[in-house]
Amino acid sequence: MPQRRDTLKNPEQELRIFRVRALLAVLVVIVLTSLLVGRLGYLQIVQHDLYSTRSEKNRVRVEPLPPNRGLIYDRNGTLLAENRPTYNLTLVRERVDDLDDTLALLVDLLELPEEEIEAFQVRSRQRQRPFQPALLMSDLSEEHIARLAVNRHRLPGVEVEAQLLRYYPDAEVMAHALGYVGRINAEELQDLDPGRYAGTHFIGKTGVERFYETELHGEAGLRKVETNARGRVLRELGRTDPVPGANLTLTLDRSLQMLAYELLDGRRGSIVAIVPSTGEILAMVSTPGFDSNQFVTGIDVASYRALQEDIDLPLFNRAIRGHYPPGSTIKPFLALAGLVEGVITPDSTINDPGFYQLPNDSRRYRNWLRWGHGRVDMERSIAVSNNTYYYTLAHDLGIDKLHERMTNFGFGQRVAHDVQGESTGLMPSRDWKRARFNQPWYPGETLSVGIGQGYWQVTPLQLASATAALANRGHWVKPRLAQRIGEEPVPAELPDTLPDIQLANDNWWDRVYSGMEKVLSGSEGTARRTGVGLEYRMGGKSGTAQVFSLGQDQRYNAEELEERLRDHALFMAFAPIEEPKIAVSVIVENAGGGSTHAAHLARAMTDAWLLEDEAPEAEEVKEVLEEDTANVEGN
């Protein structure tokens, strides 16, 4: 029977109810607590490893430490490529009190146009994390650095940060030989080992910088750091130091390289000089040059276009990629081919009526001297650059043997050990013509090849290498640019070196040299004017390459057109004959006036290398050249 509300309360019953409920509450508490304990046990015991890993991953970050790039020296230890600190203006937003004020002050201090404030504002927001420095301006001038230093107390959060950038002291002169580094692009990134290149921003793009990229780059290090939730580095947990890249000592001689550059005097051309006995490339110049430092920081579009569209093609490395008909410079090599094949002996002669005719062919292949040189032996054929002798020789050899012998001199293939981007040139053959034009080889074409014309194309480096092998009595030493990588010398004998050229009689070498000496010193020599006053015995050979056609899309004005139709001047030489110390090839595009121009430059090079006290000045050579243009003579 239910009790009414105003009836007596029953304390006993109420206490009992409470106790029952309280007991139940205790049960609930126990159940819920067990639930918590179970959950904690699951997290802390069962899943402990998982969460341990997670928490480690949270806090530990691996940061790459990029290695310093190896330096590049010339053979005398002169620095050719260095890492120069440049200074960047950075801003850490988190530490700046008033961003707008700071930016305005910066623009004021650095005397920048007002518009920069906006650009600064954009750049200051580049970094999402406010404690990471945002780059405001790169490559600060010394004056800027000084001003910032003086006003440092007014600029909390603004820092001048140093960064190492590649710098080439003689950029224009060395640009083609050394190459340059540039920022790694997306394409390169795909092929790179991400571990090695983590933290590296630059990579060798061309030249030595590219070829020796692996050695110069070094090994990246890394450090393990502890970061907080916002990514700020709190401390270093471990560290593997980077291994800096190896310093590279090149075979190049900076002063000879400079001289070669000056000798070419802004003309289009190339000079390559090699030590015959060691294959060391002393100079490898292509002009016009360009400022490779521009490419390190990233060249602006306008400048790049200007370089690309320059009709003198300054970006084109003529020394290794320029294809030139060798002209008469290859006559000594052809003579040697004849000797090797037994087609001629040094004493065999021909009679030159001023032209050559193939059997059953009325066409006359002319000597450059209309009335002919009369009786011509091998030495004289070289000295006077007789064409008829070489028509005969080429015809007697035939294109197959000619091709084989010339290949042995390195024509039509890459010859150097460590020259990046070297072109093969072109040594024509029956097979080549079949493949290229689907035509048979005609005997007349052999005659053209015999005087270094026709399809035959060489690079200045090939011509210098062949000359070095010739000066070295047929012994091939592979041309190279690197002398030492770190402390490790590049071995004298390198793989894939061409086989030596062997003559039946070793004296025959001297007979060829004698012919080459007469080019400069003989009374009939084509470069006798250059040979005046030689203080050592020098052998050489002149050449003229006809310019057949112009590039298609190029527009020239009339004056330029005339200039660009002139012949290329070529010269190859070595000295001293008894113990050759330098072999050199010179090509000056559209120099005209026969080969004298090139010959003078070659002489200046050998003088500079051999006569230490009386090294010629480029200026003197220029004067001689100017005198010479007055009295032009054929080759």
Partner 1 sequence: MPWQLITRSLRRYPVRPPDSGIARRKSIWERIHLDPWLLGMLLVLMGGGLVVLYSASGQRIDTVIAQAMRFGIALSGMVIIAQFSPSTFLRWAPLAYGAGLAMLLAVEVVGDVGMGAKRWLEIPGVIRFQPSEMMKLAVPLMVAAYLNRCQLPPRLRDIVVCAVIIGVPVVLTAIQPDLGTSLLVASAAVIVVLLAGLSWKLIGLVAALGAAGLPVLWMNMHNYQRQRVLTFLDPDSDPLGSGWNIIQSTTAIGSGGLWGKGWLEGTQSQLEFLPERHTDFIIAVLGEEFGLVGMLLLLTLYIMIVGRGLWLASSSQDTFGRLFAGSIILTFFIYVFVNVGMVSGILPVVGVPLPLVSYGGTSSVTLLAGFGILMSIHAHRRLLPR
* All residues at 6 or more sequence positions from 81 whose CB lies less than 8 Å from its CB, including other chains: 71, 72, 166, 167, 168, 174, 178, 209
Q: Which is nearer to partner 1, 20 or 504 (CB)?
A: 20
DSSP state of 480: B
Q: At its nearest, how many Å lie between partner 1 and the CB of residue 45?
A: 6
If one asks whether residue 50 binds partner 1 (CB under 8 A), the answer comes out as yes
Query: Taking CB under 8 A as the rule, does residue 551 contact partner 1?
Result: no
Among 58, 308, 351, 546, binds partner 1 (CB under 8 A): 58
| Binding of partner 1 by 1 (CB under 8 A) | no
Question: Total residues contacting partner 1 (rule CB under 8 A)?
Answer: 50
Stretch that binds partner 1, among 27-35, 242-250, 285-293, 351-359 (CB under 8 A): 27-35
Closest contact distance (angstroms) between CB of 50 and partner 1 is 7
11 touching partner 1, by CB under 8 A: yes
Cα radius of gyration (the chain)? 38
Q: Is 355 helix (H, G, I), strand (E, B) or coil?
A: strand
Counting contacts by CB under 8 A, is residue 51 touching partner 1?
A: yes
Cα gap 323→553, rounded to integer Å = 18
Residue 56: CB atoms within 10 A of its CB come to 9
Pick from 97, 193, 230, 493: which binds partner 1 (CB under 8 A)? 230
- The closest of 256, 177, 254, 264 to 587, measured between CA atoms, is 264
Between 17 and 306, name the residue whose CB sits nearer to partner 1.
Answer: 17
Pick the stretch among 16-24, 87-95, 416-424, 545-553 that binds partner 1 (CB under 8 A): 16-24
Q: Is 328 a catalytic residue?
A: yes
Name residues whose C-beta falls within 8 Å of residue 427's C-beta, 6 or more positions apart in sequence: 403, 406, 407, 411, 412, 413, 456
Nearer residue to partner 1 within complex by CB, 10 or 505 = 10
26 binds partner 1 (CB under 8 A): yes
CB of 12 to partner 1, least distance (A): 7
The DSSP string of 60-77 is EEEEEEPPPPPPEE-TTS
Of 62, 150, 234, 311, which one interacts with partner 1 (CB under 8 A)?
234
Q: Does 43 bind partner 1 (CB under 8 A)?
A: yes
- Residue 305 binds partner 1, judged by CB under 8 A: no
Stretch near partner 1 under the rule CB under 8 A, chosen from 10-18, 159-167, 286-294, 518-526: 10-18
Closest by CA to 460, choosing from 230, 176, 153, 236, is 176
The answer to whether 289 and 172 have CB atoms below 8 angstroms apart is yes
Buried b (16+ CB within 10 A) or exposed e, 157-168: bbbbeeeebbbb
Among 172, 215, 226, 396, binds partner 1 (CB under 8 A): 226
Tell me which stretch binds partner 1 (CB under 8 A): 38-46, 207-215, 360-368, 469-477: 38-46
Partners of residue 375 on adjacent β-strands: 351
| Contact status, residue 459 vs residue 423, Cβ threshold 8 Å | yes
* Closer residue to partner 1 (CB): 232 or 484: 232
Phi/psi at 120 (5° precision): -60, -40
442 binds partner 1 (CB under 8 A): no
| CB 91 within 8 Å of CB 265 | no
If binding is defined by CB under 8 A, does position 233 make contact with partner 1? Answer: no
Q: Binding segment for partner 1 among 48-56, 342-350, 427-435, 581-589 (CB under 8 A)?
A: 48-56
When the beta carbons of 89 and 225 are compared against partner 1, the nearer one is: 225
Give whole-number Cα distances, 85 to 88, 142, 165, 169, 367, in Å.
10, 12, 6, 14, 61
- The reply to whether 20 sits near partner 1 by the rule CB under 8 A is yes
Identity of the residue, 227 or 348, whose beta carbon is nearer to partner 1 in the bound complex:
227
Region of 5-13, 248-256, 460-468, 603-611 interacting with partner 1 (CB under 8 A): 5-13
Q: Which of 616, 631, 554 is nearest to 268 (CA)?
A: 554
What is the closest distance, in whole angstroms, from the C-beta atom of residue 17 to partner 1 in the complex?
4
Stretch that binds partner 1, among 210-218, 222-230, 338-346, 387-395 (CB under 8 A): 222-230
Cα gap 323→74, rounded to integer Å = 27
How many C-alpha atoms does 235 have within 13 Å on its Cβ side? 1
Which residues lie closer than 8 Å to 635 by C-beta, 6 or more apart? Answer: 327, 328, 368, 385, 526, 542, 543, 544, 594, 595
Least distance in Å: CB of 233 to partner 1? 11
Q: Is 12 in the site for partner 1 (CB under 8 A)?
A: yes
| By CB under 8 A, residue 128 contacts partner 1 | no
Q: CB under 8 Å to 206, separation ≥6 — which residues?
A: 179, 180, 317, 420, 421
> DSSP character for 42?
I
Q: Determine, following the binding rule CB under 8 A, whether residue 438 of this chain makes contact with partner 1.
A: no
Residue 39 binds partner 1, judged by CB under 8 A: yes
Stretch that binds partner 1, among 12-20, 498-506, 523-531, 602-610 (CB under 8 A): 12-20
User: Which is closer to partner 1, CB of 40 or CB of 306?
Assistant: 40
Q: Build a one-symbol-per-residue string for 172-211: x at contacts with partner 1 by CB under 8 A, - elsewhere.
A: ----------------------------------------
With b meaning 16 or more CB within 10 Å and e meaning fewer, what string describes 574-587?
bbbbeebbbbbbbb
- Residue 91's CB is within 10 A of a number of other CB atoms, namely 25
Run of H or E residues at 82: strand 79-91
Q: Is 495 in the site for partner 1 (CB under 8 A)?
A: no
Q: Determine which residue in the list 126, 228, 351, 439 makes contact with partner 1, applying CB under 8 A.
A: 228
- 447 near 397, Cβ under 8 Å? no
DSSP-derived secondary structure for 299-312: --HHHHHHHHH-TT
- What are the tokens at 599? 């010959």
19 scored as a contact of partner 1 (CB under 8 A): yes
For the beta carbon of residue 457, count every other beta carbon within 10 angstroms. 21
What are the DSSP calls for 256-277, one per residue? HHHHHHHHHTTSSEEEEEE-TT
Instruction: Please tell me whether residue 236 binds partner 1 under the rule CB under 8 A.
Output: no
Among 328, 381, 448, 595, the active-site one is 328
Q: Which of 36, 149, 186, 630 binds partner 1 (CB under 8 A)?
A: 36
Task: Verify binding: residue 29, partner 1, rule CB under 8 A.
Answer: yes
Catalytic residue IDs: 328
Interface ranges with partner 1 (CB under 8 A) = 2-5, 7, 9-23, 25-26, 29, 32-33, 35-37, 39-41, 43-45, 47-48, 50-52, 54-56, 58-59, 226-230, 234
